[in-house]
Chain A
């Protein structure tokens, strides 16, 4: 049986670790880890001409400027664009260009988003703006792409998956009065990648538009 093919978009963690985890589970992984690329409909085609069919697209693209702590009132117009609008636009354009590939394989798209999308993040308003837009886009895509055999999900991860250690520690403190019930934040390669793998597999073929929190139990909304 041919190895399934995953395209993972984004530099650094959590993309790096999830790529390692998926490879360990038998996936052929192609990375698009240059976050300075300007995303257009041709970006995937121009970078990956003649590619193998894509069964899974994982989005975890939050360029370095978006991961920077800053007060909103101190941001310039250009700062905001680089930290919020550009990541959001790029995610929309990636989704737009991924549709044909995923429709051809009845594939799956998974968006990895930081906790501040749904919980807010003091000092991370631009990143939270982009991330929550992306998390909700996953639901919208799931509603329309289900007819094409494509399933779309979002996984909310602990901020430490995206941020520098000091920033992530402060975030966890701000969002929770308790330690993770699991006693730790899930390991990205060993514990998050298998969930992505499962979401793309037949066992979860009836799960559509899931928005799952995989943070060890810190955030339990709704």
Chain B
């Protein structure tokens, strides 16, 4: 659990997941912090060997070390997801060192920044947001597929409720997150016959970006909690991570093309 306190809404303890992903190998992009690190930690807890792909060693290496210190198998790989050669090298490294790749999780995203209307967004931001979310989803999918198909692997994309209902505050963010859902549904159709599943998670969780947002807007957390049936913001490791474990495991073997909103019930529009 993160440093954020649970409130007094009863929350059941997590059941053990030891061995659920034993022998499996996963890459998680944007894993130096936040939801990416949480998913990596949760997958490692379930027995997977996890490669934490991150642009900066300053965040990626310590995150991998935290997982190793907790008994997991984890390693940092430097990877800028907007550079196809970096993504291909991360995949090749996983296969070379561990013999396989079962799950590719694309979580990396360029921070959406402060709320802005679309007409106030500059070219550089448009290009970067598209590059890290949609283009990088393509790079990750293309590089991983030959290995995922070898043993019923899966691709998991991190999208957002904003990618389903749109966002007035972050219209470009909603656009790119929606784009990822168009991709995942099409790949579910395209790759299903090869036994490869493609799903997405739309989380609301404590991340460094959420920390910044709540510090800038002190009433945000209370308002968000009040509008969330489970009345708390998700923990990356204990709330979001287990759903990624589920999607990576054979427990979800008959699910593909789906988006799971993991947000305490905040979004009920699916």
Contact = CB atoms under 8 A, between A and B. Distances in A.
Interface in B173-210: 174-190
Contacts of A131: 182
B134 A88 contact: yes
Contacts, number: 154
The A interface, classified by DSSP as helix, strand, loop or mixed, is helix
Interface residues of B, number: 48
B121 interface: yes
A121 B190 CA distance: 8
A131 B175 CA distance: 10
A115 B163 CA distance: 17
Nearest to B120: A96
B149 to A, nearest CB: 10
Interface stretch (B17-25, B71-79, B139-147, B216-224): B139-147
Interface string B99-134: 000000000000000000111010100110011001
A144 B115 CA distance: 11
25 contacts: A75-B142, A84-B179, A85-B131, A89-B130, A92-B118, A92-B172, A95-B118, A99-B118, A120-B182, A125-B187, A128-B186, A129-B179, A130-B179, A130-B182, A132-B178, A133-B179, A133-B182, A135-B178, A136-B181, A137-B166, A139-B166, A140-B170, A142-B166, A144-B171, A209-B166
Given A72-B145, A132-B183, 18 more contacts: A71-B190, A85-B134, A88-B130, A89-B130, A92-B172, A116-B182, A120-B186, A120-B188, A121-B189, A129-B137, A133-B175, A133-B182, A136-B166, A136-B181, A139-B174, A141-B171, A143-B167, A144-B117
